[in-house]
Amino acid sequence: MKMIEDYKRKHILVLGAGKSGTNAAKVLKELGAIVTINDSKPREELPELDEIEELGIETVTGGHPADLIAREFDVLVKNPGINYDNPVVVAAQERNIPIIAEVELAAQITDAEIIGVTGSNGKTTTVTMITDILNQDRKKGTAYAAGNIGIPATEIAQKATKDDTIVMELSSFMLLGIKTLHPHVAVLTNIFSNHLDYHKTRENYVNAKMRITMNQTSDDFFVVNFDNEEWKQLSERSKATVVPFARESMTDKGAYERDGKLYYNDEFIMDADDIKVPGKQNIENALAAIATAKALGKSNFAITTVLETFRGVRHRLQFVLESDGRRFYNDSKATDIEATQIALEGFDRPIVLIAGGLDRGYKFDKLVPQLREHVKAAVLYGETKELLLDAVQQAGIENVTVVDNLSEAVPKAYSYSDDGDIILLSPANASWDQFKTFEERGDQFVKEVEQLTHKQEEE
């Protein structure tokens, strides 16, 4: 960790505890800052603050009082999930106090090479593939995954050296809080219309995503999905060397699929069928990883060794187990319609779908074609169950049941299934109506599957 002087004796407010906030507070304290951490939860729900207070860091809990900013803080380190209309954030903006994300602090304190990955879908899988490939046959240093994948970037930055690589998953929320973060390789997997409740407009959302390349130069690489004309045109905003990848469209450079085979600059890499995780989206993720790895000089052997054995990321179209010819998949990370569309298109077997979750005010009409083509039965729960029921009925699916919760959904889904079928949790919704996180939802699904089948999740 670089012991930078930027924060020495500066008054810093960390807004939001959690893993990233508490770790940022510790780093800032080590850098000589005078730190206050604020979280809306009551103190008794924040046991992680015990260690923070022992370090002499002040804590303010139970709300976000706007007058907190009256103390004249020099910098605000904001949790990405806290919106910019939060009263503390608004007060900081009015006073022109710099607002940064924890990933920006991580970039400031490390000499490690940074690779940034953003996009609406596929970020975590792509980050994991890239990290594993970079560690294959690595002669010096280690590649670490961090950021939105669930590992605080500052935690990795504290131990990473100049010989290491940090592969950061960067959400649009995080990217709004960067100033100097400079990835040597920036990856844009795709952009759909997500998080508009936060960003207000699609243009704002796209601009937030494109901040990943704003500090790049011609010595860097911008890996972009060229299967969409909009995303292709976005690459023109970057000063970096553009490295395209494409599953459907033809390109004359970069990584692409042609006739079931994957290439990089006309060099054959591997057969698409040798990628073990199902779905066209995972071919796209693999192409993004190939483009990144080849731009960094990794061998075909390193790439194929990883991709031919990669079993997927937990909660991202994760294979759970097989029982009586039924294969169970946990796709709890499918928190939007597009992710569920992609998941359904990834299987060539009949699917019994479990879906539902937080009502964000949209309908599911655009899911109808995939439901009609791939789904034989559906079990729906959560706040959106009736909205999803309308889409399922439009698709002409007769075997459909509405239940109250996931515990009821799993055995009902099994009752609709036959030998050879897929039983898929792909909610198409956020989890917050019944679960704190999509991870908690996915873990509950796995638990219910294990109880139903009397088998253990496959590792």
C-beta pairs of 447-450 under 8 Å, 24+ apart in sequence: 448/406, 448/407, 448/409, 448/410, 448/411, 449/320, 449/321, 449/328, 449/410, 449/423, 450/321
Q: Strand locations in 337-390, DSSP E?
A: 351-355, 375-380
Q: What is the mean pLDDT of residues 270-295?
A: 94
CA dist., res. 385 & res. 403, Å (int): 8
pLDDT for residue 124 = 92
Instruction: State both tokens at 383.
Output: 């706040």
Mean pLDDT value across the chain? 94
Residue 174's pLDDT band, with cuts at 50, 70 and 90, is very high
318-452: CATH topology: Protein-Tyrosine Phosphatase; Chain A (3.90.190)
Beta strands at 318-323 and 267-271: parallel, antiparallel or unpaired: unpaired
The alpha carbon of residue 219 and the mean position of all alpha carbons in its chain are separated, in whole angstroms, by 27
Residue 374 confidence (pLDDT) above 90:
yes
CA dist., res. 47 & res. 297, Å (int): 45
Who's near 373: CB < 8 A, 6+ residues apart?
A: 344
The tens digit of pLDDT for each residue in 6-53 reads 999 999 999 999 899 999 999 999 999 999 999 999 999 999 999 999
CATH 3.40.1190.10 fits 104-307, yes or no: yes
Among 427, 397, 242, which residue's Cα sits nearest to residue 333?
A: 427
CATH among 3.40.30.10, 3.40.50.720, 3.40.190.10, 3.30.230.70 for 11-100: 3.40.50.720
The tens digit of pLDDT for each residue in 106-141 reads 999 999 999 999 998 889 999 999 999 999 999 999
Q: Which residues pair with 318 in a beta bridge?
A: 330
The tens digit of pLDDT for each residue in 328-352 reads 999 999 999 988 998 999 899 999 9
C-alpha Rg value of the chain to the nearest Å: 23
Angle between helices 280-295 and 123-135 (to 10 degrees): 40
pLDDT for residue 280 = 86
Q: Which single residue is written with the structure tokens 């890996």?
A: 223
Taken in order 82, 85, 88, 89, the sign of the CA dihedral is positive
Q: What is the mean pLDDT of residues 423-449?
A: 96
Q: What is the mean pLDDT of residues 405-432?
A: 97
Q: What is the mean pLDDT of residues 76-85?
A: 92
- In the chain the first and final C-alpha atoms are separated, in Å, by 34
Among 158, 199, 213, which residue's Cα sits nearest to residue 20?
A: 158
Taken in order 65, 71, 72, 78, the sign of the CA dihedral is negative
Residue 194 confidence (pLDDT) above 90:
no
Domain borders along the chain are 11-100, 104-307, 318-452
Contact by Cβ (8 Å): 9, 140: no
Residue 458 confidence (pLDDT) above 90:
no
Letter for the amino acid at 364? F
CA dist., res. 453 & res. 322, Å (int): 9
pTM value is 0.84
The tens digit of pLDDT for each residue in 154-168 reads 999 999 999 999 999
pLDDT for residue 195 = 64
Q: What is the mean pLDDT of residues 441-449?
A: 98
The tens digit of pLDDT for each residue in 228-281 reads 999 999 999 999 999 999 999 877 799 999 999 999 999 999 999 999 888 888
